[in-house]
Amino acid sequence: MLLKRLTEAMGPSGFEEEIRQVIYEEIRDHVDRVYTDALGNLIAEKDGTRPGPKVMLCAHMDEVSLMITHIEPNGLLQFAHIGGIDNKILNSQPVLIGDSKIPGVIGSKPIHHQSPEERRQPVGLNSLRIDIGASSREEAMTLVEPGDVAIFATQYEEIGERKAKSKSFDDRIGCAVMVETLKKNFDVPTVYVFAVQEEIGLRGAGPAAFRVQPDISLVLEGTLAADFPGSPGHGKATIQGNGPALSVVDSSSIHNRKFLDHMVQVAEANNLPYQYRKTVAGGNDAGRIHISRAGVLSGVISVPTRYIHAPAQLISLDDYENTIALVEQFLRSVEQGGLGQ
């Protein structure tokens, strides 16, 4: 199962070897060329039958994760974030460390031992440790070392009504949409960039776009579904189950209104649900792509993801399938001359 293979694979920002290999195996038989650039972006190309316009699709492979920074004499591990993580969600989470996936659990002082003041204070990294069951630094060092990365040990599971739970739907769901898309044939040249290092500052996609020089770019993302109780109507960035979310403005891009209207038109013409991403918070690789070289006409389609950047994230499989359908129809529209200058 594609979503299980993609979401369970390890791929902290800058350490994308495993997820890159998983994706490579998935796509190698479906594309004309596939290669890795200096930063580690996996770039797959399909020539199509016509010279242009060249469309670059992009989803990032990396995930928010942890890095071991220090091993204490008692064998407990101190760690830092890679990407944005809320410390409140870390306590008692099982994790897997390094290439050999050493299991560990994040621990802190139990509530019984916390002073009233400690109970009130926000959780800081200095009060959290990863416990791998070692009782000394020496013992721990036989299994891990500073600089090893750790991911959440979450298993993919389909739950409830057409929902799926796993880690790293941000942005393995975008990767999955690309894998499904590249199995289809389009007349125009398409380039699929599985980007590195998005979560730590959009570092992979810019160099990839510089190399690819696309005419049009479409970024596929998992974005925050803020439809939790307590969010006011205008605080709900996206709503799970309401369809693919189209980006309007975020901290990295102000999207071209013509591009946005075009996507809306494609969705409506094909009876596909869609929603606007109603927040300016967050950023993604489009922020680098659209100002690459002399500028690239760009847009973003996202699958709403609840509990984003947390160990267990939740998506709607209907949103996922509708996103795949919308991306296909978008590319069909480009085949027919859509978004021509």
Partner 1 sequence: MKELIKRLSEACGPSGHENNVRDLIRDAVASYADEINEDVLGNVIVTKKGKGTDRKHLMLVAHIDEPGLLVTHIEGNGYLRVAQVGNLEAAYLVGQRVQFPNGTVGVVGTHHVNDAGDVTFMGLFLDIAATSEAEALEKVRVGDMCTLLQPVVELDNDKLVGKALDNRVGCAVAVEALKRLKDQEHDVTVVFTTQHGVGSRGVKPAAFALEPDFGLVLDGVRAGDYPGAKRIEVGLGKGVAVKVLDRNVIVPPPIKNFLVDQAEKAGIAYQLEVYPDGTSDAGAMLITRDGIPTGGLSLPLRYTVTGSEMVDLRDVEAAVQLTVLALQQYNL
Tokens representing 59 are 């989803």
Q: Which stretch binds partner 1 (CB under 8 A): 98-106, 149-157, 189-197, 245-253?
A: 245-253
* Residue 248 engages partner 1 in binding (rule: CB under 8 A): yes
> What's at 197, amino acid-wise?
Q
Pair 95, 258: CB distance under 8 Å:
no
Q: How far is the CB of 208 from partner 1 (least distance, A)?
A: 16
Size of the site for partner 1 (CB under 8 A): 25
Pair 61, 13: CB distance under 8 Å:
no
**DSSP element (H, E) containing 328:** helix 317-335
Which residue in the list 45, 180, 198, 221 is annotated as catalytic?
198
Q: Which of 50, 265, 280, 336 binds partner 1 (CB under 8 A)?
A: 280
**DSSP element (H, E) containing 262:** helix 257-269
Q: Choose between 113 and 234: whose C-beta lies nearer to partner 1.
A: 234
* Residue 141 engages partner 1 in binding (rule: CB under 8 A): no
* Residue 290 engages partner 1 in binding (rule: CB under 8 A): yes
Q: Which of 20, 255, 262, 309 binds partner 1 (CB under 8 A)?
A: 255
> What's at 24, amino acid-wise?
Y
Q: How far is the CB of 241 from partner 1 (least distance, A)?
A: 18
Q: Choose between 89 and 260: whose C-beta lies nearer to partner 1.
A: 260
What are the beta bridge partners of residue 159? 163
Q: Please list, residue by residue across 20-46, b when 16 or more beta carbons sit within 10 angstroms of its beta carbon and e when fewer do.
A: bebbeebbeebbeebeebebbbbbbbb
Q: Choose between 103 and 283: whose C-beta lies nearer to partner 1.
A: 283
Tokens representing 9 are 């694979």
Catalytic, 138? Answer no
* Residue 276 engages partner 1 in binding (rule: CB under 8 A): yes
* Residue 269 engages partner 1 in binding (rule: CB under 8 A): no
Pair 218, 300: CB distance under 8 Å:
yes
* Residue 52 engages partner 1 in binding (rule: CB under 8 A): no
Q: Which of 115, 234, 271, 337 binds partner 1 (CB under 8 A)?
A: 234
Tokens representing 33 are 């060329």
Q: Choose between 124 and 233: whose C-beta lies nearer to partner 1.
A: 233
Q: How far is the CB of 285 from partner 1 (least distance, A)?
A: 14
Q: Choose between 168 and 238: whose C-beta lies nearer to partner 1.
A: 238
* Residue 120 engages partner 1 in binding (rule: CB under 8 A): no
The reply to whether omega before 171 is within 30° of 0 (cis) is: yes
Q: What is the rounded distance in angstroms from the CA atom of residue 330 to the CA atom of residue 267?
A: 8
Q: Which of 138, 235, 265, 336 binds partner 1 (CB under 8 A)?
A: 235
* Residue 46 engages partner 1 in binding (rule: CB under 8 A): no
CA distance readout (Å), 45 to 23, 56, 71, 208, 307: 14, 9, 44, 12, 33
DSSP 3-state of 297: strand
Pair 150, 104: CB distance under 8 Å:
yes
Q: Choose between 203 and 255: whose C-beta lies nearer to partner 1.
A: 255
Catalytic residue numbers read: 198
Binding footprint of partner 1 on the chain (CB under 8 A): 232-236, 248-249, 253-257, 260, 276, 278-280, 290-297
